[in-house]
Chains A and B, each alone.
Chain A
Amino acid sequence: MRLTLAVHSISQMDFGSKTQLEGTRLQIDVEELRRCILQDRRLQSVDLEIARPGESCRAGYVFDIIEPRAKEPGSGADFPGILGPVTPVGQGVTHVLRGAAVTVVDGGQPGGELGYESRRGGVSKILEMSGEAAKRSSYGDLQHLVMVPRAHPDIKRHAVLNALRVASCRAAVFLAQTALSQLPDSTLDFELEGPKSGNGNLPRVAYIGQIHGHQHGTESDEHILYGANTRGMMPTPLHPNEWMDGAVVISYSWGARGLETYFYQNHPIIGELYRLHQSGQANFVGAIATISSDQESEMKRNSMMGAQIAKWNLGADGVVLTKYAGGAPHTDMFETARQCEALGVKTVVLTSDTASDSRAESALLINTKEVNAIVSHSEGSDVRFQLPTVERIIAGNSEVADIMSGLSELTPAALCGIANNQGASRLQPIIY
């Protein structure tokens, strides 16, 4: 399975009379894009704005951030299972607008402290384009098409969220299709020989990543893996190329702090394992997508099966494991890692520091002596970013706009692109 990313650098994004890519300048015909988004009859309007690096602008609450990408005709479908029938991805050529992003703001997200149901679809995630927070964010130097799709008032919340998901993918493809006929600035190839290959005596490494935490259940029509909502899902071998090429998007995820589809497309861990593979340090043999469960029996079964697949199907000597946001996924990840270690598969896990008392002893929700290789990112509850007063607020609604215009500081967890569960974060809890 060979995937080629045809990378087109974007340095400027503007609205104009025609949707086209000229050199590194992306011009968008706003009415054409609006028609594309509003073909979904659940939506009655969409606000479209551009937020550029350094602009005095704040957007939120963010539903998701996606990198504009489009498959070369004949290479496969864009976001199969979401925008069309399920067909495989991860092969052929995918055009990438590097330096650009589609950022979707949830127009139906209420403002205050709310119960679980009404909070699905992002937890107060905010995109800053200026100040220190923007400098530290992975998204601060991108050109963002920020869109706020608004559903008809009688559309149920789950269908609104589904419409946001479809709109986010549509816009990403719409923008990147401008690159289809053009020569890229560079190409990146991703190819693995797969679990059967020898690749000498190099250690065989794999990735086991959770793509949802079912302590917060998914909607019937929620798209996560090739359009599936992952209820009752068992660990599934998923080629790293599929992971990067539109097979997976983030769930609506109450509490999905530090998770955006952008970092599935540019998966930091898959990227690192590819680097080890391409530099001849290790043989990257594959990846396994899994979930965390809300049932103990399911947790045990999934942990066992994840470890079994890593050991006996991929033949892995070592695996990197990540969790979805929250505490329950932490348990499932540790149990999977423990079962891997029991089979002789060495593990490294990515945790997040959850110590509300800032004590190292409280930082792990579960301690297992076999799971001894721990990398931790921090949600940075002891770090505050001072926020500048901004000229432009792109908000889902007036209630959120009021909250966002009054903000003077935020913790990293509330900001897009600083705390991250997918391996992109540079925030580390240091023991003093």
Chain B
Amino acid sequence: MKVVHYLNQFFGGVGGEEFADTPPNFLEGPVGPGNLLNQILPEGSQIVGTIVCGDNYAVENQQDIVSFVNAKVKEARADLFVAGPCFNAGRYGMSAGAVCEAVKSESDIPVVTAMSEENPGVDVYRGEVLIVDSGSSPANMRDVLVRIANLGAKLANDETVGPPSAEGYIPQGFLRTEFVEKTAAQRLAEMLMAKLKGESFEPEIPVTTFEPIPVPLMTTEIAKAKIALVTDGGLVPRSNPDNLPRAFSRVWGAYSIDERPKLLEEDFEVAHGGYDNAHVQQDPNRLVPVDVMREMERSGAIGSLHEEFLSTTGNSNPLENSRRIGREMAQRLKEAGVDAVILTST
């Protein structure tokens, strides 16, 4: 197994912070912590080359460092790419994550790095890159390198990688269904007792926190504003032209309401399997209130109603997918000069 290793200027022996602008350099064989890793790697494996790059250079010239690393990995015909360990060095973690991700997608070989959980590189790259939990102290170097070597060998040999706690890497956030010894009821009772006694417990699914999105300032008077209607209740024209599914939707649609005084029952249907939509089928205006908005348009309460409504199926959608749909919808509305949106959810 041929390994290419990436280090920053400090661990690569170039120097401290004053050498952080050093451009990348390729050296034959192992360097710095690579010497220890080389001993730990399984028989027949070796570090064939080491790329050393200054932290500032790597962060400020990401395209350059990615191209440099990709080229060297290909030249060396590497079977495994290792970066770090970076511990809690932020710029080092960010560049290690970036080069690992690039090598994985460009050369399709396994990649491993190591960081502390607080390293900003973790949040950005944990989903794509296997990151060994290094803690923050370089005193753990040997233990961290052992885990890197084990994981690297398993990945390179296509062996099954065990769960994060057993292998010592930071969870990537993927779910795999497994049969376990205890029933859900037994686990519930145990967790309840732990919580009641004030003992620690781990939720089986982590509670996700969302970055706050500031409410934009309304700069137009409402009486002059163009208002759009958006729904995740799955209202679509009859025959469902965009094939919105009843759940897990990856698509959304924009449908004209220009000239319509209200939505007619015979023109629309609902693509949504997660709520009782009989009322919407009877009167689509109760989900997408075109009738009321037209009245407000006539009375001058609002400037105008945007000429189309946007619709998707908000039913068990993956978050990443929902974020994309939200961004695409916002972009379309922004380009159309919409000032405000009424979002109806079911």
Contact = CB atoms under 8 A, between A and B. Distances in A.
B44 interface: no
Contact of A361 (B247, B274, B319): B319
Interface in A299-350: 317-320, 326-328, 346, 348, 350
Interface of A: 116, 136, 203, 205, 214-217, 268-269, 271-273, 275-276, 281-282, 294, 317-320, 326-328, 346, 348, 350-351, 353-365, 367-369, 371-378, 380-383, 412, 420, 422-432
23 contacts: A116-B273, A203-B193, A215-B274, A268-B185, A269-B188, A272-B189, A346-B195, A348-B195, A350-B188, A357-B318, A357-B320, A359-B174, A362-B317, A362-B318, A364-B205, A364-B208, A374-B203, A375-B187, A378-B177, A428-B184, A428-B204, A431-B171, A432-B171
B204 A376 contact: yes
Contacts of B318: 355-357, 359, 362
Interface of B: 127, 161, 163-164, 171-189, 191-193, 195-197, 201, 203-210, 247-248, 273-276, 315-321
Contacts of B181: 426
Contacts of B173: 359-361, 431
B177 A272 contact: no
Given A269-B188, A357-B318, A367-B209, 8 more contacts: A203-B193, A215-B275, A215-B276, A268-B185, A359-B175, A376-B204, A427-B177, A431-B206
Nearest to A276: B189
Contact of A346 (B178, B187, B196): B196
Contact of B182 (A327, A358, A372, A426): A426
Contacts of A294: 275-276
B178 A427 contact: yes
B316 A353 contact: no
A351 B203 CA distance: 11
B316 A382 contact: no
A423 B207 contact: no
A3 B228 CA distance: 60
Contacts of B179: 136, 426-428
A205 B192 contact: yes
Nearest to A377: B184
A273 B186 CA distance: 9
The 7 closest A-B pairs by CB, nearest first: A423-B185, A268-B185, A357-B318, A272-B189, A374-B203, A429-B175, A378-B177
Q: Which of B193, B204, B273 has the most CB of A within 10 A?
A: B204
Contact of A358 (B174, B189, B208, B248): B174
Contacts of A375: 184, 187-188, 191, 204
Contacts of A377: 184
A294 to B, nearest CB: 5
A116 B273 CA distance: 8
Contacts of B206: 360, 431
B185 A429 contact: no
Contacts of A358: 174-176
Q: Which of B247, B276, B321 has the most CB of A within 10 A?
A: B276
Contacts of B189: 269, 272-273, 275-276, 320
Contact of B275 (A328, A368, A382): A328
A354 B316 contact: yes
Given A346-B196, A360-B206, A373 B319 contact: no
A373 B203 contact: yes
A431 to B, nearest CB: 5
B196 A367 contact: no
B150 to A, nearest CB: 16
B175 A317 contact: no
B175 A355 contact: yes
A50 to B, nearest CB: 28
Given A359-B320, A360-B175, A428-B177, A346 B205 contact: no
Q: Which of B172, B192, B207, B315 has the most CB of A within 10 A?
A: B192
Contacts of A424: 183-185
Contact of A430 (B163, B192, B209): B163
Contacts of A376: 184, 204-205
A352 B203 CA distance: 13
B208 A373 contact: no
Contacts of B203: 372-374
A43 B9 CA distance: 82
B174 A431 contact: yes
A429 B177 CA distance: 4
Given A355-B175, A357-B320, A268 B192 contact: no
A390 B220 CA distance: 69
A422 B273 CA distance: 23
Contacts of A273: 189
